[in-house]
Chain A
Amino acid sequence: MRITRQGPRVTVCLDDPVDARSISEIERLLLPQLVGQGSRLDVLIDLQAVRSFDFEVRAALIALHRSIAKQARRSVYLATRAHIRGLALWLIHGAEDPASSVAMTLAQAEAWLSQGKDRVGWALERAESALAAIADTSTRTSGRTRGRT
């Protein structure tokens, strides 16, 4: 595991697999860095190298995420395997942390940290916006059809 700090962001790169040892290492090395800062930091948990996780540690991961959520401004989990993103979503949902999300790319992770929206509200906003675009397209299409007849 590696922890690096760049400006207001702390990046935690986890190795494979995620197990009880990984969690205690994060608790020992990351949490002290988040405490006592002048302003709250952002946390990027990089799971790109992770291919598997110990199913038994899921409850401990939620507890860990709650500790991160209390101290950090925003956080994001970055993973390139869907089942690892599923684990990340499961734990941030379980920890009831609206300021955390899951990303497929570094650019998405950085975009999440730089915006101020909550995860669920942002999904709803995007869905409504796409539905409005569909309605707009349908209106324009039917308008053109009427114009031809």
Chain B
Amino acid sequence: MSRELTLAQRAFVRVMDALSTRVLGHPLPFLRELMRTHGFAGYRTITSTIQRVQEQCVQRYGPVEANVLIASGALWNGCRFCSRSHLWNANLHYLRDTGTLFPIDDAEVPRLQRLSDEEVLQYITQRLHEGGFAALAQRVERLFHLKIGDATGTTDDDPYLLAAIAAWDWMAECTIVVEEDQAFPTDPVARDRALYARYLQARGRAKPDSG
């Protein structure tokens, strides 16, 4: 989108960049696009809605499963930022809590997004089953069917999964402009630099530039 930011919007974005860098270690690479697309009012609505959905999901499923569900909802949109960053969040929480690696590496997201939907679903659910996450695998599958609109019946999970799908459908409108190499974990858990470094080392990845 080519619309220029107003002076007030530019100032706001600079403040938010600084805040985000302080809290998350990086400025949010989609913030300017969000402001250009929705303005101040839209920004307030979207951040509030995203926060409410995330809080509800974390409250119900815990941070690991909530982030995996959000990541899988975002993955289907082809968004290169949200799916990877939420899977990265899940990985960091899981490593911190268990000392072991989660069955799916966040770095796999770009490859998965190039497969057919059936291949992706099969891969994710198989990895989750093999890793001892049978219930989460079922929820990921349920989320997929809710996303494509062929789910039958209703479950207690549905409102949470539908909220995650819709909120990140909306979010993807602006995060879709972010390039693949700009993803990073968006959870404050990533502020634990020792944990972050341990995770990258465990995955065999060099630490990326923090800028």
Spell out A's residues near B (CB within 8 Å).
51, 80-90, 93-94, 96, 102, 104-105, 107-108, 111, 119-120, 123-124, 126-131, 133-134, 137
Closest 8 CB pairs of A and B: A86-B78, A130-B163, A126-B166, A123-B170, A133-B159, A127-B166, A82-B113, A130-B162
B76 interface residue (CB < 8 Å to A): yes
- Decide: A81 near B116, CB < 8 A? Known: A90-B177, A93-B177, A127-B167: yes
Question: A111–B148 Cα gap in the complex (Å)?
Answer: 11
- Count class of interface residues, chain B: 35 or more
The residue in A80, A82, A119 that gathers the most chain B C-beta atoms within 10 A of its C-beta is: A82
Do B75 and A82 touch (CB < 8 A)?
yes
Q: Which of A87, A94, A119, A124 has the most CB of B within 10 A?
A: A124
Asked whether, in the complex, the Cβ of B76 is within 8 Å of the Cβ of A126, the reply is: no
CB-based contact B78/A83 at 8 Å: yes
Q: Which of B115, B158, B165, B176 has the most CB of A within 10 A?
A: B176
25 contacts between A and B (CB under 8 A): A51-B114, A82-B76, A82-B112, A82-B113, A82-B117, A83-B113, A86-B80, A86-B113, A86-B176, A88-B78, A89-B77, A93-B1, A93-B173, A104-B117, A105-B149, A120-B38, A123-B170, A124-B49, A124-B166, A126-B162, A127-B53, A127-B167, A130-B162, A133-B162, A134-B56
Residues of B at the A interface (CB closer than 8 Å) are 1, 37-38, 45, 49, 52-53, 56, 75-80, 110, 112-117, 120, 147-150, 156, 158-160, 162-163, 165-167, 169-170, 172-174, 176-177
> In the complex, A104→B147 CA distance in Å?
8
B149: chain A residues within 8 A (beta carbon): 105, 107-108, 111
Residues of B within 8 A of A88 (CB): 78
Q: Which A residues touch B80, using CB under 8 A?
A: 86
How close is A19's CB to chain B, nearest CB, in angstroms?
17
Evaluate contact between A81 and B162: CB separation under 8 angstroms.
no
Question: Which residues of chain A have C-beta atoms less than 8 A from B113's C-beta?
Answer: 81-83, 86
Name B115's closest neighbour in chain A (CB-CB): A81
A96 touches B1 (CB 8 A): yes
A123 touches B148 (CB 8 A): no
* Minimal Cβ-Cβ distance residue in A for B3: A96
Cβ-defined contact, B1 with A94, below 8 A: yes
B14 to chain A, nearest CB (A): 24
- Contact residues in A for B148 (Cβ distance below 8 Å): 104-105, 108
**Residues B176 and A93 in contact, CB atoms below 8 Å apart:** yes
Cβ-defined contact, B163 with A90, below 8 A: no
B173 touches A123 (CB 8 A): yes
Residues of A within 8 A of B77 (CB): 82, 85-86, 89, 102
Chain B residues, Cβ within 8 Å of A94: 1, 177
B residues near A104, Cβ cutoff 8 Å: 76, 117, 147-148
